[in-house]
A = this chain, B = another copy of it.
Amino acid sequence: MPDEAFRRRAGATFRGVINDLKRNTEAAAADLGVPPEVITEIVAGERDLPAELLRRAVEVWPVNERDFLPVHDDAPDGVRICRAAESAATSRVFQRGGADYYEYRDTAMSRLSMFRPEWIKMLVPVSDGRPDNPAVQWNKGHFLYQFTYFVGEVNYYYEWEGRRYCVETTTGDSVAGLPYAPHSFTYREGGSGLILALTYGGRLLGDAHQELGALGADLAADYAAAGETAAATVLRERLDDTMTPVARLAAESGVPRERLDDLLDGKDVPGHEELVALARVLKVSVRDLLPVVGDERDGVCLVRGAEAPAWDWPGEDPAAYRVRGLAGTKICPDSRGLELAVVGRDPEAALLRTGLHQYCFVIGPDPVRLRWESGGTVREEVLEADDSLYVKPFVPHGFTQVEEGRSTVLALRIGGKVSGDTRREASALGAPALRRLVSDTSQWYDAAAGAR
């Protein structure tokens, strides 16, 4: 489905690849065995990159097929809506252990973001809360992180380090789980149960996954240093990466050698002054010496709806939303589950904006009005219960009440490929560089130009 914009981005990407290889149009054409006009047309976005040319490029240059391939923009208006009826049309029942176990329905997804959000109905009832109930069919876990929002009488089962757990949940509870932890869901007899299983990829999907794959399992596993604390691991890595002997770090930073040995052994974590001194010698930011430590318990973070932190937004009267902060883990600092009770009627006051990618599901019961701005145009849609949507980063959007309606919207925000360190890098390089990055089709030098 190469559309015109995709082809244009592919052209700019192609120019980027040959610029980086220090090939001008003629040199690139010679390497690939085609006339220069072919290259010119590809760069201009006037023709698709032929499969044969791609094959040849990967053969003669130190590049990969993926280096040439853009991402499709399937939300050109800023938002992509999936209506309840479209979701229902994707309904499929999967059996486990010979019996119908779940009904799955896809909800809003976009090629711009690794959300894989499913509406899942539990088809097997249980009459107890035992994790070893034989009716429970366990999966093997999956790499995607899972944020789950519970509706009805759902039993949630999860396994961590060989032990199995069951939690009885109710509407409004939520849980964040780590990759590869086996889990399952049933509903409690006499009730009914469904979940919004919002799986999503973290920073390790995409390029990172493929790089790890090419390095192979043994080298990939080395990225998870064993047997040290997270803080000690970060410091040890920096010493190895910069070839800095401990004795030199001690002498230059003023942090005593014995103290550094304790820090590297994980016996203590560095204090702020120490971090500043170490960062100065290692020529990094303090940020780069700090670890990330998860706050899960047995691999999950469970938040009961009744105990979730709640606040009004924007904070000044009148409120546009009554917000609840749902489950999350510090390993994914950009993943934010939010429950929004839509209480406002003024679209200006309800306007939200975030640098994260966002998925929303209208829990209802009543409809809500969605308003958003994209490319200078203001748009509106009324969304019914079970409608869902994807919102691009930075697109101003908001939900308001329709009439006297009462409605709740579930939102999950996640960091895209430009999050964390990468977002900091983008921020440091500045807007003109980012604009040029995504649109430049010109050669890095002008052969004809005299001195300017």
Contact = CB atoms under 8 A, between A and B. Distances in A.
A85 to B, nearest CB: 18
B438 A220 contact: yes
Given A140-B445, A420-B421, A241 B413 contact: yes
A21 interface: yes
Given A428-B230, A438-B220, A245 B311 contact: yes
Nearest to A201: B20
Contacts of A240: 353-355
Given A66-B71, A334-B241, A424 B292 contact: yes
A118 to B, nearest CB: 6
Contacts of A255: none
A394 interface: yes
A323 interface: yes
Contacts of A70: 64, 66, 210, 213-214
Interface stretch (A34-42, A105-113, A258-266, A363-371): A105-113
B142 A19 contact: yes
A431 B212 CA distance: 12
Contact of A140 (B12, B290, B395, B446): B446
Contacts of A447: 94-96
A220 to B, nearest CB: 5
A95 B443 CA distance: 14
A10 B136 CA distance: 33
Interface string A217-258: 111111111100010011001001111111110000000000
